[in-house]
Copies of this chain bind each other. A is one copy, B any other.
Amino acid sequence: MVGRWVIIAAERRFRPRDFDAQANGTPTGPDVCPFCPGHESYTTPEVLAYRPPGSPANGPGWTTRVVSNKFPALQVEGELDRRGEGIYDRMNGIGAHEVIIESPDHTKELSELSVEEIERVLLAFRERMRDLKNDLRFRYIQVFKNHGAAAGASLEHGHAQLIATPIIPKTVQEELDGSLRHFQQKERCVYCDIVEQELREGRRLVRDEEGFVAIAPFAPRFSFETWILPKRHQASFDEMEPEGLSALARVLRDTLGRLRRALDGPSYNFLIHTAPCREPHLEHYHWHLEIFPKLAHVAGFEWGTGFYINTTPPEESAKYLRELEARA
């Protein structure tokens, strides 16, 4: 009725949960971690890995490794089979759910990796996006990261995820519709306009370097919400070339490092919003990366209204982050 789809994935309740295990006193850490080197057989076979020439698949030696999620929210096999059920609609949960293991090091947070290591993580995002676009059942590929228990992570070893979905997500469709309206009125991309206004005003700017800006958005839902956008118009993340990935790695490392220092290593989510699979070159849409530190719980008012109450004005969070010396 409101166009909401939910994914019912009962098997996911059986996935391992480091943070629950720690609370229960069950051991976690490199000895039992499915993402640590030497434990490659604990995961599904790798779909992509960066490893030295000659090093065999599904063994140690890799630097970034991508596997299918063992407890996927969506299943890759089968047909969509859309059908009605009285006034409701149902379809099979078809999709792909992959895990990008960022590095072999169990203990390092993404912002503690080297620029080269982060660049490989971003390259893995791009390669998996490009490959999954060949499956014509998929309409959108959502890349995201959950870091820390409060952000919904279940394992502590640093990893990002992607889910390819058979419909364009509601949140993305709202951005597509809103940016199209702006374009129809002004023949300009609204994200290009945001970049231009933030560079001109400077009050919500965190960083401006190497073709990217990091900003506190004008209407942040969360304290210290921060976005990274390419300054030049680009609709799809997977259009990025190597020099762009390298620059983004530096800006992302710098921004996450500032948030880590400012907020004492917060739990956070990030997500990449990009153009849908079948419309990669939109003039009105512009990919971007949104980072949400999880400092407070979303409560009833937010659920009821879709309005967010934020106790930190964006001008204040941007100033704080801007003036913080970035971690060496």
The minimal Cβ–Cβ distance linking A207 to chain B, given in whole angstroms, is: 20
Total number of A residues with any Cβ neighbor in B under 8 Å: 77
A299 to B265, CA, bound (A): 17
Query: How many copies make up the complex?
Result: 2
Do the beta carbons of A7 and B304 come within 8 Å of each other?
no
A1-58 with Cβ < 8 A to chain B? 1-13
Measured CB to CB, the nearest residue on chain B to A5 is B307
User: How far, in Å, is A269 (CB) from chain B's closest CB?
Assistant: 4
Q: Are B306 and A170 in contact (CB under 8 A)?
A: yes
A194 within 8 A of partner (CB): yes
Cβ of A257 to closest chain B Cβ, rounded Å: 19
Chain B nearest CB from A231 CB (Å) reads: 16
> Does A297 lie within 8 Å of B152, measured CB to CB?
yes
Distance A48 CA – B176 CA, assembled complex (angstroms):
46
**Interface status of A87 (Cβ within 8 A of chain B):** yes
Tell me if A111 is interfacial: C-beta within 8 Å of chain B. Answer: no
* CB nearest neighbor in B for A74: B309
Interface string of A273-296 (1 = CB under 8 A from B): 100000000000000001010101
Binds B, one of A98-106, A122-130, A218-226, A236-244: A218-226
The CA of A172 and the CA of B2, in the complex, are separated in Å by 10
Q: Are B6's CB and A300's CB within 8 A?
A: no
Question: Is the CB–CB distance between B146 and A1 below 8 Å?
Answer: no
Question: Do B306 and A144 touch (CB < 8 A)?
Answer: no
Residue with the highest number of chain B CB atoms closer than 10 Å, among A86, A172, A297: A297
Given contacts A297-B151, A304-B271, contact A311 B13 (CB under 8 A): yes
Instruction: Say yes or no: is A184 at the interface (Cβ < 8 Å to chain B).
Output: no
Closest residue of chain B to A302, judged by CB?
B152
Apart from A73-B309, A144-B300, A145-B300: 11 A-B pairs, beta carbons within 8 A: A1-B190, A3-B178, A8-B312, A9-B310, A9-B311, A10-B313, A150-B297, A151-B297, A161-B301, A170-B305, A271-B304
Residues on A lying within 8 angstroms of B by beta carbon are 1-13, 73, 85-88, 140, 142, 144-146, 149-153, 161, 163, 165, 169-172, 174-175, 177-179, 182, 190, 193-194, 197, 201, 218-221, 269-273, 290, 292, 294, 296-301, 303-314, 316
